[in-house]
Amino acid sequence: MDQKNRDIGWWLRVALDGWRDLPGPRYRRLAAALTAAVERRLIAAGDRLPAERPLADALSVSRGTVVRCFDELAASGVVERIQGSGTFVRARPSWTGALPGHGAGENPASALLRRRHAGESGTIDLSLSVPAGTDHLPPLGALDPLAEAEGHGLHPAGTAELRTALADHLTHRLRLPTTAEQLIVTSGTRHALALLAAAAVPPGRTVVAACPYGGGLPGTLAGRGARVVGVPADAWGIDASAAHRAASRLSAPVLHVDSAALGASRREALLHTARRTGALVVEDLAQAGLYLGPGDGPAPPLAAADDGVVAVGSLSRTLWAGLRVGWIRAPEALRDELLHVRPAHEPAPGVPSQVWAARLLRAVDDAWLERLRQALRARRDLLLALLARHLPAWRPEPSVAGLSLWAALPVTDSETYAHLATRYGVVVAPGAAHCVCGRHRAGVRLSIAEAPHRLEAAVDRLAAAWEHHARDLAATP
């Protein structure tokens, strides 16, 4: 059917038929239905999705539900959002190219999204590196999040209470001196990266990033025409020498750095590279504070030594992903530009989420953070021991920071195994879904955030799936 003849009724009757019967929250049901429509070629690369508000009205859902759906599709590389034009189905860049033996529209990122949606109630999801619940949060007691709310509730940079709490957290917990005026509240790290892409990454600019990468940077930037160059990384962070070689060959690149485990020598080398090459440094602090290695921890953030560094982060890894709260710390000129482009993007989280986030940040202290790190170290060590016992052919890399670890499998590509593991009740992230250089397709990313008994059950299922996969490989001519 010609796209120009697709009215809103066509989208409801054809592309989204049966979406309400899918599992999960409404925005994920919509995302799953649209992903399936792409895979079935009902909608093709370049096709424009309906505008958010008319689609929401036709579906009898809130506009926020459609916005979250489109955000998830964009983060998975299924669509791209072009400021002032709309949301379009993406042509697949090389890092998400179709896999042998899969449908023409299938790619690692959208396949992972589909597996998450298809999981049954007993499925253990190890592909999401965020806390698996809220039982670790500090107690707040009774709280009415609207008791002190005033005015229209629309705060372009976020509420003053939350920005003040975030500034205090960054200053005293992460050793990054910050004022509330330097911050913009976002709906997570991916939203922060999307705003930065719109304000500071013109089409064609090259981004140098560690590979494999655990967040949504490639999906956020590839649709804008940015080229992503992957450089090696280890448990301690990006290889500073490799990043320097890559940036030195480029004109004013963007250098993306996760500094959660970064030592002082790498930090200084990366800052030197930025100054020599004119690179814009985007520092990801989503995992900052979750250092699990030996010694006193990483060096202070790069942004503490250079005001030109743009820092982004969220509360999803430390507190709870359900808050949907992130932030950007930017120089004044860039902050003004970010606020200028913001109206075309998702606004800040709702005031209740911001109130809860601010109160939780106030309740966090050093003792609570240390207990959290101790629990994560214990779960990491448990998962490593379980893998060594039940899957000795795998080569896991102990994590030094954050809520996940990577394991190399003795296969050329882990996508087929990841698909099979879902049938055994475990969702894992295949390497191809988080790789921009093509060299990490054999790996899988595993969350360490689940409770110990669920990690034990997950490895039992992964081992059973691996036996099945090994038999299939042995039977292949």
pLDDT band at 104 (very low <50, low <70, confident <90, very high): very low
Instruction: Name the amino acid, one letter, at 130.
Output: V
Contact between 386 and 459 (Cβ < 8 Å): yes
Rounded CA-CA distance 37/302 in Å is 43
- The closest alpha carbon to 110, from 74, 160, 57, 60, belongs to 74
Task: Specify whether the CB–CB gap between 304 and 280 falls below 8 A.
Answer: no
Instruction: Specify the higher pLDDT residue, 213 or 277.
Output: 277
| Token pair listed for 88 | 């379009």
Whether 122 has a pLDDT exceeding 70, the answer reads yes
pLDDT-based confidence at residue 238 (cuts at 50, 70, 90): very high
- Write down how long the chain is: 477
Give the least confident one: 179-183, 299-303, 350-354, 355-359.
Answer: 350-354
| 126-142 mean pLDDT | 85
Query: Residues 145-188: pLDDT tens digits?
Result: 666 666 666 778 899 999 999 999 999 999 999 999 999 999 88
| Amino acid symbol at 172 | H
Which run of H or E residues covers position 374? helix 366-390
pLDDT at site 95: 28
pTM: 0.74
Q: What is the tens place of the pLDDT at every residue in 3-34?
A: 555 888 889 988 898 898 887 788 888 988 89
298 contact partners, CB below 8 Å, separation of at least 6: 259, 260, 261, 262, 263, 291, 401
* Cα gap 80→223, rounded to integer Å: 5
Pairing of strands 426-427, 124-125: parallel
